[in-house]
Amino acid sequence: MQSIGVGVGWNSNLICGDMSITTTLQNQLNGITNGFQTIMSNVIQNATSAVASLPALIIQRADPGLYNLLTNGILQARLDFDRSKMTCRAIANRMADMAGGQAGWDQLAEGMALRDAVSSTDAVSAIEQAESNKGNNGVPWVGGGNAGGSGQSSIKVVGDVTRAGYNLLNGRSITDTSSIARSACGNRLTCQTWSSPGAAAAFANRVLGEREQRTCENCTKTQTTPGVGLTPVIQEEYETKLQVLQELVTGTRPTPPANLDAAGSSLLPITRGVIEALRDEPDQDVLGKRLASEAALSSVLEKALLLQRTLLTGKKEPNVAANELAVRAVDLENSALEQEINNLNTELELRRTLAGNSAMAIIQRHSTRAAGSRGIFEGDTTRDRLRKSRSR
């Protein structure tokens, strides 16, 4: 699947900090914007050349009335600037509520920058410092470090939370990326299913996709990769298990426990007796494919349930749990995964219902007739097989 990015079109972080009071005053005094122009438009137009050429003190001495008008104009422009900036802030807050995650991550980055800036105890410089940061410092993320800023890794909601959950379930450091040996895994399902946090995250990204967030000034803000769901994974698992099962039945592969485990799943184990029964089965091909299909479905269902548990555990990582945006994003992915699991459950129930179809009814009626005529020799299922073979 190809990733889809949303760039500067959603670059809403600290947009109010781009407002310039100097430009506001200039436009007010030059009549480009309304405000002071509506009060003394004719006077301002005549005073523009004087403002450009005379210092304020000379203007005061030369024309006190003009100086008072200019002072009032600057005051009016300042009030308009503050009012416009407050309106911009209000619109940005509404945008964060309506537009979803992107604007929210930007506001979070602004809040983190302001938290660090207020240590100077100067209110004006703190606001200026926070606004000039432009979100380049990122936000706290999994493991305690910052992410999403300039020169930092992006915030990968699905992948990072899955890695954190994998490590937490295995009692390891949250930022550990190493693999877990099969001998050191024990009975933990997570490391039995995925050997490393990267493998777990790769499965999660394959099924659910990925949502990357950045807060830096000149970078792609939001980038998403759609997931394919569980159906393609089931198909791939089916083809793998069918091949293993066919090799076990034909004898090209031996039947130790490892090979039997590869053909089945924890919910639907394949034993040596099942293999022997298939070898003597006339409808070997049909029943073998059906068994492989059920084994693949149960195997993927196990992985999906385990992924759900991993995401729920990763959501409890302190930096994720303290971030409401991240919690909502993980809950949304969990809901999508739960829907996929419910679809699998429905498919499994349908398969069980369809198991009593016409083909099974024919086999059952044949068995009933055979049981009712035990005194009569039951012939071969293939008519005249011996005679045809002799004639050849």
> With DSSP H G I counted as helix, E B as strand and the rest as coil, what are the percentages for the chain, rounded to 5?
70, 5, 30
Residue 125 lies in a domain: no
Q: Are residues 235 and 333 in the same domain?
A: yes
Inform me whether the pLDDT recorded for 389 exceeds 70. no
Q: Are residues 217 and 235 in the same domain?
A: no
Residue 370 lies in a domain: no
Q: Nearest to residue 275, comparing CAs of 299, 296, 246?
A: 246
Residue that terminates a domain, selected from 49, 72, 99: 99
Q: Are residues 154 and 263 in the same domain?
A: no
Inform me whether the pLDDT recorded for 19 exceeds 60. no
Question: Could you read off the pLDDT of 29-76 as tens digits, one per residue?
Answer: 666 655 555 555 555 555 555 555 556 666 666 777 777 777 777 777
The CA distance from 113 to 109, in Å, is: 6
Residue that terminates a domain, selected from 99, 131, 160: 99
Q: Are residues 35 and 84 in the same domain?
A: yes
Categorize the per-residue pLDDT at 309 as very low, low, confident or very high, splitting at 50, 70 and 90.
very high
pLDDT of residue 41: 53
**CA 328, chain centre distance (Å):** 11
Inform me whether the pLDDT recorded for 158 exceeds 90. yes
The residue range of the domain holding 85 is 10-99
The CA distance from 266 to 261, in Å, is: 8
pLDDT of residue 255: 80
Expressed in angstroms, the distance from the first to the final Cα of the chain is: 55
Q: Are residues 235 and 358 in the same domain?
A: yes
- Of 80 and 65, the one with more pLDDT: 65
Residue 174 lies in a domain: yes
Q: Are residues 272 and 203 in the same domain?
A: no
**Which residue type, as a one-letter code, is found at position 90?**
A
Question: Could you read off the pLDDT of 89-120 as tens digits, one per residue?
Answer: 665 666 555 555 566 777 777 777 766 666 65
Q: Are residues 51 and 169 in the same domain?
A: no
Residue 348 lies in a domain: yes
Question: Are the beta carbons of 167 and 177 closer than 8 angstroms?
Answer: no
Give the count of domains, the chain: 3
Residue 104 lies in a domain: no
- Of 289 and 373, the one with more pLDDT: 289
Residue that terminates a domain, selected from 180, 195, 226: 226
The CA distance from 342 to 277, in Å, is: 32
Three-state secondary structure readout of the chain: CCCEEECHHHCCCCHHHHCCHHHHHHHHHCCCCCCHHHHHHHHHHHHHHHHHHCCHHHHHHHCHHHHHHHHHHHHHHHHHHHHHHHHHHHHHHHHHHHHCHHHHHHHHHHHHHHHHHHHHCCHHHHHHHHHHHCCCCCEECCCCCEECCCCCCCEEHHHHHHHHHHHHHCCCCCCCCCCCCHHHHCCCHHHHHCCCHHHHHHHHHHHHEEEEECCCCCCCCEEEEECCCCHHHHHHHHHHHHHHHHHHHHCCCCCCHHHHHHHCCCCCCCCHHHHHHHHCCCCHHHHHHHHHHHHHHHHHHHHHHHHHHHHHHHCCCHHHHCCHHHHHHHHHHHHHHHHHHHHHHHHHHHHHHHCCCHHHHHHHHHHHHHHHCCCCCCCCCCCCHHHHHHHC
Q: Are residues 343 and 258 in the same domain?
A: yes
Look-up of token digits 């005549």: 46
Q: Are residues 219 and 305 in the same domain?
A: no
Residue 179 lies in a domain: yes
Inform me whether the pLDDT recorded for 203 exceeds 90. yes
pLDDT of residue 268: 80
The structure's pTM equals 0.67
E strands along 214-276, which residues? Answer: 222-226
User: Of all helices (H) and strands (E), which one includes residue 372?
Assistant: helix 358-372
Q: Are residues 91 and 147 in the same domain?
A: no
Question: Are the beta carbons of 210 and 333 closer than 8 angstroms?
Answer: no
Q: Are residues 236 and 358 in the same domain?
A: yes
**Which residue type, as a one-letter code, is found at position 32?**
I
Q: Nearest to residue 206, comparing CAs of 380, 1, 52, 385?
A: 1
- Of 145 and 19, the one with more pLDDT: 145
Q: Are residues 220 and 236 in the same domain?
A: no
Residue 202 lies in a domain: yes
Residue 150 lies in a domain: yes
pLDDT of residue 12: 40
